[in-house]
Structure 1
């Protein structure tokens, strides 16, 4: 049984930063349909964002210039832009710096 604080943290580092997971999936598998992005997140990261949330985040990322929408064979597919890649790697650096500051190391 996890505390409310831990459940809240899990939500904050999954659903509330879903763009990171979308970017990660697209770094290896682009271009993809929104539905396929959602399925990859579920399989790879073991959490299930709602379909509406995934689509909302994808549309936001597209309007912000992090994703590019392409119409291929009558299907709408998404690809990470250079700006999307740059923001993804900056976010990873920020998270790694935070983990480094929070981590407790044994004294020598």
Structure 2
């Protein structure tokens, strides 16, 4: 049975349109700075999310500008790690999802 259009939209909203949650989760679990490419690979491996590379880079750059990620350059490679602001936003985001899910349960 194939997904309805509504379910397809929901999955997109909870994954592609909120990649920042998954990106911070990956970085917290890895506990080390990561290249944007490594994040893209882990999105596919861990969450079965396979966005275009440009999408991952765009989200990471935006997260860096918002102060959710810190960028450092090591041997000419850009590495990213979550800031305390990013970790707090992640926690608040997960809490919001949990609260919403609790309201929706039958």
Which TM-score applies when normalising by structure 2? 0.96
* Residue 49 of structure 1 pairs with residue 51 of structure 2: yes
Describe the SS at the equivalent of 1:23.
helix
Give CA deviations for 1:29-87 in whole Å, capped at 9, x if unaligned: 22000000000110000120110100000000000000000001221100100000000
Aligned to 2:69: 67
Number of positions where the alignment pairs a residue of Structure 1 with one of Structure 2: 104
1:16 CA displacement? 0.3
Aligned counterparts of 2:101 and 2:13: Cα–Cα separation in 1: 15
SS in 2 for 1:79: strand
Aligned residue runs from structure 1 range 1-108, under 5 A = 1-29=2-30, 30-104=32-106
CA distance in 1, matches of 2:84, 2:74: 20
Aligned equivalents of 1:50, 1:77: Cα separation in 2: 19
Aligned-residue RMSD, C-alpha? 0.6
Please identify runs of 4+ aligned residues in structure 1 that moved more than 3 A: none
Larger radius of gyration: 1
User: Any stretches of 5+ residues in structure 2 without a counterpart?
Assistant: none
